Chain A
């Protein structure tokens, strides 16, 4: 064939890297070293003698840990190959992980954070030596206070669920301080709020009541009112919910909670579509949290570290975690321990500092106009994508028929499933063959055969078109060549995986040593 090159086909001919890497323990070569340890000076050795021999026998490890022995480049190569077998947000049209707000995490922010002026800072250093990082923490708190409308902000938690925990911990402390700790034993949430709202409330000792939506998919105010009582400690809700539906009666929800003396806690994991449009305070909430790794553009790190920001009204401020960064009258920044009512530390020190610097940088790159543009574009992208998805035969968007959505949609393949027997999970696996992420939803599957798409502001019209076209192709395959879908993946690092062993205590292998013991020792062979 000679030039010109033929036009590209309609869909990407993707192939994920397939290095067929062994597990690292099988790469060991006795005697190889990855890094060497700097030995102590002769003067130290002379002064202290043989410190290992001096240990009590109970403290002296008998045999060295059975870690692999590998030269440095071999370790590097192994992990770089694994990295190529991972589809980061920088590589794909990462809109299939609805609720998770996969947006661009700017490279400049990584560069700015990766400096010894941050990485080599110790949290107990003289605050005079930490003015830069303390100022960033303080400024970020102020900016998030404005974005939420709340009075005070804590940046201590390391993820959204940790922030939810801090919310309920503050609510619990608030009621106890008011002498109502024994009385208020219930927390109300909705089925389309993140599951951690229910789970963290339970862990804090509360009974959990879950409210389901009305026929139109809106959280039912009537059901809420029926559940509220003097026993209610709080409502803990997401809005827009994971359906992308904004609860238009949210103010009434908050007022109803307040009417029985309960607090209102707002999970703002889904805030990306409403930045600069509407605020937690405007709806009357007492406490809310943002996920900085979602809404404020910090990288997701293969599952963390994320970062949570808890924002509260003045009434809740005394309960915020410590330590706090404060600005003195002369403009210098200092560290203050939490007060008497503080719930105390929720984690070490000041929170996920690299994420805080990146979130600060993200906001400072956009400003008020940019935040609003991000929200409006995320919503535009979502409604554009929804029109494309609903044009695919077999796809639907349950609830709120004909209405617009905010930043995401929980769709359903129920019709396609009825017709072909292909499940949403199978479609998701097939989507990976085209280099696309795809997520169904949290359990339980209230929406049958669910999938949840959240396009955020980061993707161009052409990328949204590509994703929708890929979905349409997989739906077509489900009808015309279902075996292709059922046996997927075909272009991935590994092939169809068998998950039966993962739920059997006799057969699961959570570590290499357990795997060796269970499957390759005399004991296991005998059984």
Chain B
């Protein structure tokens, strides 16, 4: 290349600046700065990367061209959930988190970054109202991490090593939690009955070596745990901690877990004002009561109120910073780092917009649409519901005579994503407030056509599959 390389993102590629700066430090070339990098470790050739689009308009055309290959859920009729949910995102949420001041900030102090400290304190506080708990963290990565940490907290609190998993959990979440806690805890499954915990079996499995009971509600199949209080009473009698993994979207109308005895409530905030983003916009919350023995086991940052020199002015700061790995490296509680603050700000804005009535109405709408979808699909010949638990947003159906993957293939050809395959004949179906009656009727109609045309297998094999997938 003959012309000097000058790039808009790198002001000091301007030849005059570069020369002036080298002269100012008395260096002949930038090579001098790399004196400590041995010659044997130098790459000595250009990186083998695709030719760049240095002009912005060319870059935009290239990336837009790639993304144009996608067909989004706005172009398909989607009943997909299983961890990522299609809820309405109010415009104000996107406006706030798109602001440069929030989007491009990082780790400033409570003075010059007062805004993010207040926005995140308010996020903690708004979540606390929804959850009826007094302490909520600055978001961790996602609901998987939040539950994993809730469980390791229980291990440290009790000094015990067994965890009873009493609900159906998403396989990916289970894998993450298992790998995260396995140096300290073993997970032991207590099979569910009709979608929710088998309370008698849970009681039988309890002992003085149990650190925690892990309740997932809504579960991986959308079943809401109605017996949480009984489970919590049994756990507490055995000296165990109750850790709940949840999605908070329904707590405008449903009893939050803390009221039913949960000690550590964890979950994901994607439902609260974040787009689906191909599963790439998750944040995790960990909530506890205002009990220092629990708070001091939390690895995350906690922003708290403080006074300033001026009466009436709210200041902020880090609560009990000495807990963290920032302060004490491996002697801190687990570790903390860049996680999901912007998504926390979004969830805070979402809850402020929704208010008490919005969250209550949304909860009711979700229950109603879920129930309607259950009824509509159960009315299709050859399709049955797997349990009669209360479901929020998601539920599973089993097909008498067709494989779920075949259903998915057939319906995709009609522009419908009918759900996520969770067993040979079992499908996980998800509806939200964005799923209309007509959408659900369309799904039911398409299923009716496909199941009747594809009928083949026997009732017996259906029953076997159903048992297997429990």
Contact = CB atoms under 8 A, between A and B. Distances in A.
B102 A119 contact: no
A350 interface: yes
A423 interface: no
A250 interface: yes
A222 interface: no
B70 A121 contact: yes
B280 A354 contact: yes
Given A48-B375, A133-B70, A497-B316, A349 B41 contact: no
A133 B129 contact: no
Contacts of B354: 34-35, 37, 67
Interface string A294-307: 00010111111110
Contact of B116 (A75, A86, A201, A489): A86
B255 A115 contact: no
B194 interface: no
Interface stretch (A3-11, A227-235, A403-411, A470-478): A403-411
Chain B interface bracket (under 10, 10 to 19, 20 to 34, 35 or more)? 35 or more
Contacts of B356: 64-67, 69
A305 B54 CA distance: 26
Contact of A379 (B34, B302, B335): B34
A345 B179 CA distance: 9
Nearest to B11: A460
A12 interface: no
Contacts of A120: 72-74, 86, 275-276
Give the most central of B145, B176, B279, B362: most A CB within 10 Å: B279
B173 A345 contact: yes
A40 B435 CA distance: 10
Contacts of B110: 494, 497
A145 B52 CA distance: 17
B459 interface: no
B160 to A, nearest CB: 16
Interface in B63-104: 63-64, 66-74, 76, 78, 80, 82-84, 86, 88, 90, 92, 94-104
B102 A83 contact: yes
A460 to B, nearest CB: 4
Interface stretch (B14-22, B234-242, B450-458, B460-468): B14-22
Nearest to A69: B355
Nearest to A147: B47
A217 to B, nearest CB: 11
B83 A348 contact: yes
Given A75-B92, A428-B109, A116 B114 contact: no
B279 A349 contact: yes
A179 interface: no
A482 interface: no
A125 B9 contact: no
A513 B141 contact: no
Contacts, number: 731
B341 interface: yes
B307 A501 contact: yes
Interface in B1-47: 1, 5, 7, 9-13, 17-18, 20-22, 24-25, 27, 30, 32-38, 40-43, 46-47
B260 A58 contact: yes
A304 B79 CA distance: 29
Interface stretch (A105-113, A257-265, A309-317, A414-422): A105-113
A47 B179 CA distance: 44
Contacts of A72: 92, 353
Contacts of B204: none
Contacts of B312: 20
Contact of B59 (A70, A87, A364, A460): A364
A337 to B, nearest CB: 10
A279 B88 CA distance: 44
A13 interface: no
A308 B181 CA distance: 21
B25 A387 contact: yes
B220 interface: no
Chain A interface bracket (under 10, 10 to 19, 20 to 34, 35 or more)? 35 or more
B69 A87 contact: no
B275 A90 contact: no
Contacts of B158: none
Contact of A364 (B62, B114, B327): B62
Nearest to A487: B309
A199 B325 contact: yes
Contacts of B32: 404
B278 A122 contact: yes
Contacts of B407: none
Contacts of B134: 510-511, 513-514, 517
Contacts of A255: none
Contacts of B469: none
A494 B115 CA distance: 10
Given A299-B104, A510-B136, A496 B308 contact: yes
B312 to A, nearest CB: 8
B375 A196 contact: no
Contact of A347 (B99, B120, B176, B303): B176
Given A88-B104, A510-B134, A108 B59 contact: yes
Nearest to A430: B111
B470 interface: no
A439 B113 CA distance: 13
Contact of B41 (A203, A250, A363, A379): A250
